Amino acid sequence: MTNILPLRLGLNIDHVATIRNARGGNAPDPVRAALMAIEAGVDGITAHLREDRRHIRDEDMARLSLEIAKPLNFEMAATEEMKKIALRVKPHAVCLVPEKREERTTEGGLDVVGQHNLLAPYIAELTQAGIRVSLFIEADPEPIEMAKKLGAPVIELHTGAWCEALAHGDKAKAAHDFARLDSGAELAGKLGLEVHAGHGLDFYSAEVVAALPEVRELNIGHFIVGEAIFIGLPLAIQQMREAMDRGRAKARARP
């Protein structure tokens, strides 16, 4: 047997809230989805409180922190407003992401190199409050090395560009992007960072990325919530877990 560690699945429930907000009422309740997902075996819940509150709202974060028994991963931009909320909510982890009001979803990783002066005290304050800080970055050596210098224990590799290339059938770009993820995961592992991955993952891409031995957690939202419309949330989670297990069985320790 190799010394490959288990791979966790975090469910991002943002788009349950997107559907709720389309009608302005209380249903479907993202906290109910989180509880059901935990029952179905996810290892944690992720929610992104965006500056414009387009899906998750402040009261969702507060309820999640009180009602769920698994780790809560609070995705947010590195702003003063979000820091205050995070220090109040006290989630297990904060994942810092870039955020532009006009974007449809999180495009590109956090500019940790350009913003290191701002991020250093920000990460330190969250860490002192007992919150595990993760940085959502591109799988390139500069941001990975900067994440290490900034003292973040975790990075989440942005899989969005790779998943998009796969969806467009652009094999050359997909191969190039996956090679970046592969070497990024290896470098981060060597530096002692915990490696997560996410954005745009589906059954196929989750299975492929699960084979990278350093990756310890996948955070997946849109695809699972979409699939739940057809087969229900528990089965969508179960099938995602099976895909991840198939991929993990192919993981090999680096030479």
With b for 16 or more beta-carbon neighbours within 10 A and e for fewer, the 5-20 pattern comes to eebbbbbbbbbbbbeb
Residues 6 or more apart whose CB falls under 8 angstroms from that of 186 comprise: 214, 254
What is residue 163's three-state secondary structure?
A: helix
What's the rounded Cα separation, in Å, for the pair 146 and 157?
14
C-alpha to C-alpha distance for 82 and 163, rounded to whole angstroms: 29
Please choose, out of 77-85, 204-212, 221-229, 242-250, the segment that lies near ligand PXP by the rule CB under 6 A.
221-229
Q: Of 15, 55, 75, 156, which residue is the catalytic one?
A: 75
Of the pair 14, 253, the CB lying nearest ligand PXP is at 14
Q: Is residue 75 near ligand PXP by the rule CB under 6 A?
A: yes
Q: Is 39 an active-site residue?
A: no
Does 74 help bind ligand PXP (rule: CB under 6 A)?
no
- Choice among 194, 199, 217, 227 that is catalytic: 199
Q: Which of 7, 11, 13, 14 binds ligand PXP (CB under 6 A)?
A: 14
Q: Which residue, 2 or 82, has its beta carbon nearer to ligand PXP?
A: 82
Asked about 48 being catalytic, the answer comes back as: yes
Q: Write the CA distances from 1 to 111, 211, 248, 249, 251, integer angstroms.
A: 39, 15, 13, 11, 11
Residues found near ligand PXP in the complex (CB under 6 A): 12, 14, 48, 75, 95, 97, 105-106, 136, 156, 198-201, 219-223
Cite the active site residues: 48, 75, 199
